[in-house]
Chain A
Amino acid sequence: MQIKIKIFRYNPEKDKKPHYETYKVEAEPTDRVLDVLEKVKGEFDGTLSFRRSCAHGVCGSDAMRINGRNRLACKALVKDLPRKIVVEPILGLRVIKDLFVDMEPFFENYRNVIPYLVNDELPPKKERLQSPEEQERFDDTTKCILCACCTTSCPSFWANEKYLGPAAIVTAHRFIFDSRDRAAAERLKILNEQFGVVRCHTIFNCTIACPRDIQVTRAIGEVKKAIATGKLD
């Protein structure tokens, strides 16, 4: 079938401002939007630039706005979209070229929440024990692939990129509720500051955008509750 794909284009070495270009492409209904982008690049215009790697929703490279919604281009199928597909860079991060945005503010926020297990106790010779129930407590947030679909769908992040944003809070949640970790209080303090969870207004954009089906808003809610009550249950 023939489809039209309208793509946000910006080449900082040539263009004064961004514009859109539309391409007519033959595509299979089961093609991913990423396949269509590859085809446009390969057959029509090699200058079209975007990130991609695994092509099945696990590496998190190809977060884009597709018909107004944050998606991974490799998890959005042609058959599930209108005949006219519109692809734009994710919002709230500076566009560098075409669909390439500057990911640094996003990763800086990630690094700010102590994104690693803290536990200085001497570990046992074998594994630390953790019950399936304890593991289940933070299992959902371990699925995060740092694609930024959630954070760049959040109006609070659009307003100020210093807001830690859903992805960083999800990362913090993953450690705060891990029975093996010992830095929950420190993380909760960070999340309770000016650019922390207070900026979440429970709009649910993040949960809708998450390609890994993480219950992002719920995770943020649990963090808010932990801050309010000082308890982790």
Chain B
Amino acid sequence: MENYHQFDVIVVGAGGSGLMAALYASRTASTAVLSKLYPTRSHTGTAQGGVGAALGNVEEDHPEWHTFDTVKGSDYLGDQDAIEFMCSEAVQAVYELEHMGLPFSRTADGRIAQRPFGGHTNNVTGKPVSRACYAADRTGHMILQTLYQQCIKNHVNFFDEFQVLDLLIVDGAAAGVVAVELRTGELHVFHAKSVIFATGGHGRIWEITSNAYSYTGDGTAIALRRGLPLEDMEFYQFHPTGIYRMGILITEGVRGEGGILTNDKGERFMVRYAPKVKDLASRDVVSRAMYLEMREGRGIGGKRYLYLDMRPEVVNKYAAEDGRKRPDGTPYVVTGEELLAKLPDIVDFARTYLGVDPVSQPMPIQPTAHYAMGGIPTNKFGEVVIDENNTVLPGMFAAGEVACVSIHGANRLGTNSLLDLIVFGKHAGLTAAEFANQASFQVLPADPTDFTRQQLDAIFNSQGTDTAYEIGKQMKSIMFEQVGVFRTEEGMKEALAKVRELEERVKNVRPPDHGRIFNTEVLTTWELMNLLALAEVTTVCALARTESRGGHAREDYPKRDDINWLKHSLAWVEGGQVRLSYKPVTITKWQPKERVY
């Protein structure tokens, strides 16, 4: 067979979780990483503020506190055994990154610097705690670079600009993937004993998004097409501070360093919504508060944005009001130079895209689609589980944003995504290699590329007049309006009808580029099909869940309903219809209680 490759372990995606998985799997098993981008282009590189771990370098902290904060942040939908596992592994995982060479910012005595972040608290006082380990405001960039460097050091095999289009499952076990080599347009079959999906999220569904163009849910949609369920897809995070109209992320680290949110009246409105931690409440809480402010006409100039203010005089005024202290007990006072040193990229983004210097002017911001809490269900070893009883699909693994362990439940805390990548990337890699070393290769079907070619041919042979560009715009617009921060049955039904219409229309786009070399038009259309499929599942799950929890806020069902809804959603697509089922949440120590910040 031409273009046939065989490896023990195939990793799909080269962001933080994929590279971490590859590093660990390649120690004991032949491993290859397939990525549609050069690895250093991966979306992990855009993460800014920090990676959470209770090192206690700046003040008292404990993995147990981190665990509870994550449970509470998840609005009690996270699986507590997995959360405890992640938070206790966190400390060693961060030290390991440092040993790999990650250039963390440092405390005066040379240890890893830490800053406060939303929802992370001292469990005794309830006040924000410095838990986010950071490298200025480019922590994700440094993680991605460092892991890629380590992969080069360890001779990991890379297939750069190979886009995976299908997952091969034989006799109920993963058997490999099919990928297109972008440079030639040729299909390749990668035969493997273990397949790890580390393909990231799908934030391009929404109009205002912090997510990269490449964040099109490829792995998630492939899994769905191959009959796997998706978990908790209704839970999608809207980050409070995206650049107005563009969605570009402004890190929560700005508020960690003392920045505040203000409305048209100049009020620090978060004091009314989260009296204890104020601007450092959980992201879902802050985004909802912002929407309510704007709805009450207190957006800036009545428009759909607010201000994020990190001018030193403002930071210092409110720090004094809050009685915030430095670790040595002196009052918290910052200068413009310090903020510039700690948040250089943010200053650059604001200057470039807003024409605003954030040291002397506030930044116009609005909530922006940011992170998928839901995804392919896994257990804490990264093994993909495919039903209500958590039955493992042999040889199939997922890690990072594409996976739903579930660590983040209904709402992820800031800094926990980078942590998720390194902890579960590592364990998926280890488990996948261990599995591969005792398994044998499945016999592949006679034509493994059959299903892939069907999908591509349908796009190549399309003869309509619609454009994927226009269909994409309509999807993004309705999803942002109706399946965003606040949701209602009526709005979601409208969105669902529209998405289904668009799923039909995308089958009849204009005749595309017929070339083979870097045919990005056909692949963009394929990616749009992925987004539409996931938009439909998201909306169906959201319609079914008649409660409000974490990132899923229903105006028609404003309360959390633990009696009926303390459970994970599972969604399959069968015969073109979404089928839903549910499975219990793992609760170990913390019984659900009201969530107040």
Please report A residues at the B interface, Cβ cutoff 8 Å: 11-14, 30, 38-39, 41-43, 46-47, 49-61, 75, 77, 96-98, 100, 103, 107, 111, 115-117, 119, 123, 125-132, 134-135, 138-139, 142-143, 145-146, 174-175, 178, 180-181, 213
Closest 8 CB pairs of A and B: A42-B469, A117-B101, A129-B110, A46-B521, A116-B149, A47-B513, A116-B153, A59-B41
Question: B521 to A145, Cβ gap below 8 A?
Answer: no
Residue pairs across A and B with CB atoms within 8 Å: the count is 159
* Chain A contacts for B246, CB-based, 8 A: 56
CA distance in complex: A54, B153 (Å): 26
* Chain A contacts for B153, CB-based, 8 A: 116
Within 270-307 of B, Cβ neighbours of A (below 8 Å) are at none
* Chain A contacts for B149, CB-based, 8 A: 115-117
Question: B150 to A116, Cβ gap below 8 A?
Answer: yes
Within 556-570 of B, Cβ neighbours of A (below 8 Å) are at none
Complex interface bits, B466-501 against A, C-beta within 8 A gives 1, otherwise 0: 011110100000000000000000000000000000
CA distance in complex: A53, B94 (Å): 27
What is the minimal beta-carbon distance from B596 to any residue of chain A, in angstroms?
35
CA distance in complex: A115, B144 (Å): 13
* Chain B contacts for A51, CB-based, 8 A: 41
Complex interface bits, B491-531 against A, C-beta within 8 A gives 1, otherwise 0: 00000000000000000001011011111110000000000
Question: B213 to A55, Cβ gap below 8 A?
Answer: yes
What is the minimal beta-carbon distance from B199 to any residue of chain A, in angstroms?
13
Question: B103 to A58, Cβ gap below 8 A?
Answer: no
Complex interface bits, B340-368 against A, C-beta within 8 A gives 1, otherwise 0: 00000100110011000000000000000
Question: A132 to B106, Cβ gap below 8 A?
Answer: yes
Contact of B109 among A47, A75, A129, A134 (CB under 8 A): A129
Question: A54 to B43, Cβ gap below 8 A?
Answer: yes
Q: Interface with A: B115-123, B135-143, B220-228, B312-320, which one?
A: B135-143
What is the minimal beta-carbon distance from B217 to any residue of chain A, in angstroms?
15
With an 8 Å Cβ cutoff, the count of chain B residues facing the other chain is: 63
* Chain A contacts for B99, CB-based, 8 A: 123, 127-128
Given contacts A129-B109, A129-B111, contact A213 B348 (CB under 8 A): yes
Contact of A142 among B55, B142, B152, B348 (CB under 8 A): B142
Pick the most buried of A12, A119, A145: most chain B CB atoms within 10 A of its CB.
A145
What is the minimal beta-carbon distance from A219 to any residue of chain B, in angstroms?
15
CA distance in complex: A49, B153 (Å): 33
* Chain A contacts for B141, CB-based, 8 A: 58, 143, 145
B59 within 8 A of partner (CB)? no
* Chain A contacts for B345, CB-based, 8 A: 58
* Chain A contacts for B43, CB-based, 8 A: 53-54, 59
CA distance in complex: A146, B141 (Å): 11
Question: A54 to B110, Cβ gap below 8 A?
Answer: no
Question: A115 to B152, Cβ gap below 8 A?
Answer: yes
* Chain B contacts for A146, CB-based, 8 A: 38, 40
Given A12-B517, A134-B110, output 5 extra A-B contacts at Cβ < 8 Å.
Answer: A42-B467, A54-B43, A57-B348, A59-B40, A100-B518
CA distance in complex: A6, B472 (Å): 25
Question: B103 to A178, Cβ gap below 8 A?
Answer: yes
What is the minimal beta-carbon distance from A20 to any residue of chain B, in angstroms?
19
Question: B45 to A116, Cβ gap below 8 A?
Answer: no
* Chain B contacts for A103, CB-based, 8 A: 38
Contact of A61 among B37, B468, B517 (CB under 8 A): B37
B546 within 8 A of partner (CB)? no
Question: B103 to A135, Cβ gap below 8 A?
Answer: yes
* Chain B contacts for A134, CB-based, 8 A: 106, 110
Question: A178 to B212, Cβ gap below 8 A?
Answer: no
Contact of B138 among A14, A39, A143, A181 (CB under 8 A): A143
Question: B105 to A59, Cβ gap below 8 A?
Answer: no
B46 within 8 A of partner (CB)? yes
Nearest B residue to A58, CB-CB = B46
Within 38-57 of B, Cβ neighbours of A (below 8 Å) are at 38, 40-43, 45-46, 55
* Chain A contacts for B42, CB-based, 8 A: 59
* Chain B contacts for A55, CB-based, 8 A: 212-213, 248
CA distance in complex: A52, B352 (Å): 18
Complex interface bits, B521-559 against A, C-beta within 8 A gives 1, otherwise 0: 100000000000000000000000000000000000000
CA distance in complex: A61, B40 (Å): 9
Given contacts A53-B41, A56-B353, A146-B40, contact A126 B95 (CB under 8 A): yes
Contact of B106 among A13, A46, A54, A135 (CB under 8 A): A135
CA distance in complex: A103, B160 (Å): 11
What is the minimal beta-carbon distance from A61 to any residue of chain B, in angstroms?
5
Question: A127 to B46, Cβ gap below 8 A?
Answer: no
B104 within 8 A of partner (CB)? yes
Question: B352 to A75, Cβ gap below 8 A?
Answer: yes
* Chain A contacts for B107, CB-based, 8 A: 132
Nearest A residue to B245, CB-CB = A30
What is the minimal beta-carbon distance from B46 to any residue of chain A, in angstroms?
5
Question: B40 to A42, Cβ gap below 8 A?
Answer: no
CA distance in complex: A46, B472 (Å): 14
Question: B515 to A47, Cβ gap below 8 A?
Answer: yes
* Chain A contacts for B352, CB-based, 8 A: 57, 75, 77
Contact of A54 among B46, B55, B150, B510 (CB under 8 A): B46
* Chain B contacts for A117, CB-based, 8 A: 100-101, 146, 149
Question: A181 to B46, Cβ gap below 8 A?
Answer: no
Question: A11 to B515, Cβ gap below 8 A?
Answer: yes
CA distance in complex: A53, B209 (Å): 13
Nearest B residue to A54, CB-CB = B212
Question: A61 to B100, Cβ gap below 8 A?
Answer: no
Question: A49 to B518, Cβ gap below 8 A?
Answer: yes
B214 within 8 A of partner (CB)? yes
CA distance in complex: A151, B302 (Å): 47
* Chain A contacts for B520, CB-based, 8 A: 41, 49-50
* Chain A contacts for B521, CB-based, 8 A: 41, 46-47
* Chain B contacts for A125, CB-based, 8 A: 95
CA distance in complex: A96, B520 (Å): 13
* Chain A contacts for B213, CB-based, 8 A: 52-55
- Chain A to chain B contacts (Cβ below 8 Å), 15 pairs: A38-B469, A46-B512, A49-B513, A53-B214, A54-B46, A54-B213, A56-B353, A96-B517, A117-B149, A126-B95, A127-B98, A132-B105, A132-B106, A132-B108, A178-B101
Complex interface bits, B452-473 against A, C-beta within 8 A gives 1, otherwise 0: 0000000000000001111010
Given contacts A96-B517, A142-B142, A145-B141, contact A128 B98 (CB under 8 A): yes
* Chain B contacts for A13, CB-based, 8 A: 515-517
CA distance in complex: A52, B43 (Å): 12
CA distance in complex: A130, B107 (Å): 9
What is the minimal beta-carbon distance from B115 to any residue of chain A, in angstroms?
14
Question: A54 to B45, Cβ gap below 8 A?
Answer: yes
CA distance in complex: A50, B524 (Å): 12
Question: B98 to A116, Cβ gap below 8 A?
Answer: no
Contact of B45 among A50, A123, A145, A180 (CB under 8 A): A145
What is the minimal beta-carbon distance from A54 to any residue of chain B, in angstroms?
4
Question: A97 to B517, Cβ gap below 8 A?
Answer: yes
What is the minimal beta-carbon distance from B344 to any residue of chain A, in angstroms?
8
Given contacts A13-B515, A58-B45, contact A42 B468 (CB under 8 A): yes
* Chain B contacts for A115, CB-based, 8 A: 149, 152
